[in-house]
Amino acid sequence: MNKQPFRLDNKTALITGGGTGIGFGIASCFIEAGATVVITGRREQVLQEAVSKLGSNAHYVTGDIDQLQTIPQLLQQVEQKAGVVDILVNNAGRNQKKPLLDTTDEDLAAILQTNVLGAFALSREVARRMIENKKNGSILLISSMAAVMGIDRVVSYSTAKSGLTGMMRTMVADLAPFNIRINAIAPGWIQSEMLAAALDGDKARKEKVMNRIPAKALGKPEDIGYAALFLASDSAAYISGVLLPVDGGAAYNF
């Protein structure tokens, strides 16, 4: 039996969108558990500031997963800094608040590009390297309760996050023979820049959200971080294909 089951010592984790919000919360929890963490994102200054807070076991690589052709190069940079990835967290994402009838084909395509196509391409390339290096890997997809509940004015985001669940199930079947586990987390309403953009200036929507959460409080990024830590650790060695809600019970509160 592992005497320290929730540790990530000697593990390298790659977290997309790791400079702020949920991604930063996950990075903090992983480093606390002993991992070496590489965060990625488009804004270098944000990444630099995040790494300065995370400490010496944190590194960054600037990159945009929307640019699918650059992903192999991004992974080469990650490996130069921290070695082959043991844990991938697909956290980078984009939201869009728009009524269904005003949502264009281009709107939907842009949200799918980041939330689905980027996560797929990166997961595929990381899995390829895990297999080549005989790594027992863990890949996490950050979904959303918008993939579970019907929420108005987020049709593109809901479609994208729902797509991750189907992708996860097939990845489980394809990658299990190589000892690579795939799981997803569905955050509820968690304090972040993305949530602020969705709720600030929309008093009615914010009141509806707060009334839905039994504890009457937003979640914190580390609430997602510790859930991710569990799923990435050896404590979850026999868990694959799970969509874990972390929403403070909002899904079940009338």
- Catalytic residue numbers read 157
Classify residue 216 as exposed, middle or buried by CB count within 10 Å of its CB (0-12, 13-18, 19+). Answer: exposed
Chain centre to alpha carbon of residue 196:
18
Instruction: Centre a 10 Å sphere on the Cβ of residue 147 and count the other Cβ atoms it contains.
Output: 20
- φ, ψ (nearest 5 deg) of residue 243: -105, 105
Q: Which amino acid is at 150?
A: G
Q: Three-state SS for 192?
A: coil
Q: Three-state SS for 171?
A: helix
Secondary structure letter of residue 60 according to DSSP: E
DSSP 131-145: HHTT---EEEEE--G
Which stretches of the chain are DSSP H helices?
21-32, 44-54, 71-82, 105-112, 119-132, 155-175, 193-199, 203-212, 221-232
